[in-house]
Amino acid sequence: MTYPLDHAATIPASAPSRPASYEDLGQLLDLISGDQKHSSASTSTLDILWVLYDRVLQVSPESVDDPDRDRFILSKGHGPAAYYAVLAAKGFISPALLSGFGSFHSPLGHHPDRLLIPGVEISSGSLGHGLAISVGIALGLRIQGRAGSRVVCLLGDGELEEGSNHEALWLAALCRLSALSVIVVDNLSSGLGWPTGVEAPFTAAGWVVERVGGHDRGELERALLRRSEAAPNLIVAATESAP
Amino acid sequence: MTGMRERVADELGRMLDEDNRLVVVLAAISSSLFESSRVRHPERVIDVGIREQSLIGVAAGLAHTGLRPVVHTFAPFLLERPFEQLKMDLCHQGLGAVLISIGASYDSPEYGTSHFCPEDVALLDALPGVDVHVPGHPDEAVELLRRAVATTGTSYLRLSGASNAKPKTVPAGRQRVLRRGSRGSVIAVGPMLDPVLEAVADFDVTVIYANTLRPLDQATILESLGEPAVAMVEPCLAGTSVGLINQALAHLPHRVLGLGVGRHDLHHYGSRSEHDLAHGLDPVSLRSRISGFLGPSQ
């Protein structure tokens, strides 16, 4: 992939020398926000993202263009600080970029741009786009016989209000896309709520469904590694409610 | 004569045989035309059902994995219902697809406004870098399809039930000067060629034919320009291409007339020829409108 010229200089040629640990994430988040306060939109996903990149996804800074990599689709593009912190911790981007968050020449915006950041699979911001793209990626992998690759798409419970998700979740089930996993971060940010649970539409369509604590890294890892043979699977990650 | 839609579906069947990176994505419409292709390539003919947001999102995902998606449905459901998906999932991601519509401006007048899409090209003009092809004959549709699939970007192929009697050969990306005259230039786009040729049969004008509308071949308009008066006759919204013609002629005093489909909602059913008449796009109306624009002959 090639990057626009005026951003190219800001993208590091190589990964940082020392891989960061989970304990370093707070410091990386501080670089982004400039203080110790982090919005719930980003911190609600921190443990999920860490588990994905540390324990689950087969992707590294060296394999961002490998056709057999795992794909992570951040559909819910809001609050990407945790995403950027994890990408920095794992060497996809330099930690030096974090303090420029949101500025004109920074590749790190308040919604990620795949053409600016190595390893970011989709540009997001408008809610309800990631799941259909994920379905297309999973179909594309199946067509090409890349059975070893999986697609993990992260949605928010508020985002789930968008009707496009309901088209796509039925389509995924009808296509029996077992390579696809969806994580819905349930931080009670849906204004009207989901009285029968965010799981309800997925259950109705035949997804394999599990609910875990959104900060329980052990449970998240176990749930993400559990796969179905013939259906996509949903993991509802329950976290603190939005302020 | 076999129509554009059937010819393109047949050709896509052959192309699926030749190119294992090609994938056809449908949303229920025209599904039966792809049945034999689906038997041969069950994984590469995908019908997402009546889910047009997913139609574009899925195409973007397929392109994301290196495949070449060809997406097809009725024009309003291809472009208008999922317009944000075109903007975000294709254009903004830097992913490409070939978008093939049927229905054109009012191919099925009995269906009414929900199935009309004269605004299609104007909408795509609001997005960056989308090629637009408007074939005037089924043979041209097949050739333009192959050109569009051979690129990696996003192209729109506007199929129509309206067709000229004979196909024209046009070099890729160019317009073709059919004849030269001294009173001005008339550009006919796609299926507008036959009505335009009839309308200006005895006028001393330059006639240019275009079946690729974006990017607009401004060079041919300039090179063939005599009297700087250009009438643009397009089968989509009137004036859609006028801005680009003005841009091409910005360095000299000139006049431009944009003829096409009107903006008003007619609230009429009926036949295509009745709608041509209502929009002043029949040969008699075109003759009078172009004649009035050119002014008295010297």
Q: Which CATH architecture has domain A21-238?
A: 3-Layer(aba) Sandwich (3.40)
Contact A171 B58 (CB under 8 A): yes
Flag whether B68 is in a domain.
yes
Instruction: Enumerate the residues of chain B whose CB falls inside 8 A of the CB of residue A142.
Output: 43
* Domain CATH code at residue B225: 3.40.50.920
Contact A131 B84 (CB under 8 A): no
The amino acid sitting at A78 is H
Q: What is the pLDDT of residue B243?
A: 98
Flag whether B164 is in a domain.
no
DSSP secondary structure letters along B8-66: HHHHHHHHHHH-TTEEEEE-STTGGGGHHHHHH-TTTEEE--S-HHHHHHHHHHHHHTT
Instruction: Enumerate the residues of chain B whose CB falls inside 8 A of the CB of residue A134.
Output: 61
Q: What is the pLDDT of residues A55-105, one digit of tens each?
A: 999 999 999 999 999 999 999 998 899 999 999 999 999 999 999 999 999
B122 and B245 together in one domain: no
Flag whether B225 is in a domain.
yes
> Which band of pLDDT confidence, cut at 50, 70 and 90, is reported for residue A34?
confident
A243, pLDDT greater than 50: no
List the single residue in B43, B57, B94 with the smallest CB-CB distance to A132: B57
Contact B43 A142 (CB under 8 A): yes
Tokens 């990407």 correspond to what residue? A80
The residue in chain B having the minimum alpha-carbon distance to the alpha carbon of residue A171 is B48
CA distance B66 to A194: 37
A18, pLDDT greater than 70: no
Neighbours of B211 (CB within 10 A): 28
B196 and B244 together in one domain: yes
* Final residue in a domain of this structure, among B158, B188, B207: B158
CA angle B109–B113–B115, rounded 5-degree value: 70
Instruction: Enumerate the residues of chain A whose CB falls inside 8 A of the CB of residue B43.
Output: 139, 142-143
B149 and B21 together in one domain: yes
What residues contact A218, with CB distance under 8 A and at least 6 apart? none
Three-state DSSP at A192 gives: coil
What residues contact B180, with CB distance under 8 A and at least 6 apart? B206, B224, B226
Q: What is the pLDDT of residue A240?
A: 73
Q: Which residue has the higher pLDDT, A241 or B149?
A: B149
> Which band of pLDDT confidence, cut at 50, 70 and 90, is reported for residue A13?
very low
> Which band of pLDDT confidence, cut at 50, 70 and 90, is reported for residue A40?
low
* Final residue in a domain of this structure, among B101, B131, B158: B158
Flag whether B297 is in a domain.
no
DSSP secondary structure letters along B134-167: --SSHHHHHHHHHHHHHSSS-EEEE--S---SS-
Contact A139 B46 (CB under 8 A): yes
B191 and B105 together in one domain: no
* Domain CATH code at residue B112: 3.40.50.970
> Which band of pLDDT confidence, cut at 50, 70 and 90, is reported for residue A5?
very low
Q: What is the pLDDT of residues A98-145, one digit of tens each?
A: 999 999 999 999 999 999 999 999 999 999 999 999 999 999 999 999
How far out from the chain centre does Cα B264 lie?
20
B29 and B150 together in one domain: yes
B152 and B26 together in one domain: yes
Flag whether B165 is in a domain.
no
Which of A133, A135, A137, A155 to mutate to test binding with chain B, by most B CBs within 10 Å of its CB? A133
Report the gap between the CA of A166 and the closest CA in chain B (Å). Answer: 9
Q: Indicate whether this complex's ipTM tops 0.95.
A: yes
Q: What is the pLDDT of residues B161-173, one digit of tens each?
A: 999 999 999 999 9
Assess contact for A223 and A210: CB atoms under 8 A: yes
Output the six-digit token pair for B211.
């079946």
Q: Return the closest-CA partner of residue B192 out of B132, B236, B148.
A: B236
B36 and B150 together in one domain: yes
Neighbours of B108 (CB within 10 A): 15
User: Which phi and psi angles does B90 have, rounded to 5°?
Assistant: -100, -70
As for how many domains chain B has, the answer is 2
Q: Return the closest-CA partner of residue B186 out of B63, B279, B289.
A: B289
B154 and B181 together in one domain: no
Q: What is the pLDDT of residue A32?
A: 92
List the single residue in B48, B69, B92 with the smallest CB-CB distance to A171: B48
Computed on alpha carbons and rounded to an integer, the radius of gyration of chain A in Å comes to 17
Q: What is the pLDDT of residues A199-209, one digit of tens each?
A: 999 999 999 99
> pLDDT 10s digit of each residue in chain B, 298 long?
899 999 999 999 999 999 999 999 999 999 999 999 999 999 999 999 999 999 999 999 999 999 999 999 999 999 999 999 999 999 999 999 999 999 999 999 999 999 999 999 999 999 999 999 999 999 999 999 999 999 999 999 999 999 999 999 999 999 999 999 999 999 999 999 999 999 999 999 999 999 999 999 999 999 999 999 999 999 999 999 999 999 999 999 999 999 999 999 999 999 999 999 999 999 999 999 999 999 987 6
B182 and B124 together in one domain: no
The residue in chain B having the minimum alpha-carbon distance to the alpha carbon of residue A174 is B48
Determine how β-strand A208-213 pairs with β-strand A233-238: parallel
CA angle A137–A152–A79, rounded 5-degree value: 110
Contact B54 A164 (CB under 8 A): yes
Assess contact for B118 and B237: CB atoms under 8 A: yes
Flag whether B144 is in a domain.
yes
Flag whether B170 is in a domain.
no
B31 and B76 together in one domain: yes
On average, the pLDDT of chain A sits at 91
How far out from the chain centre does Cα B98 lie?
13
* Final residue in a domain of this structure, among B98, B125, B158: B158
Cα–Cα distances in angstroms (integers) from residue A233 to residues A69, A161, A162, B107, in the given order: 19, 19, 20, 43
B180 and B237 together in one domain: yes
Output the six-digit token pair for B134.
């408007």
The parent domain of residue B50 ranges over: 4-158
B22 and B93 together in one domain: yes
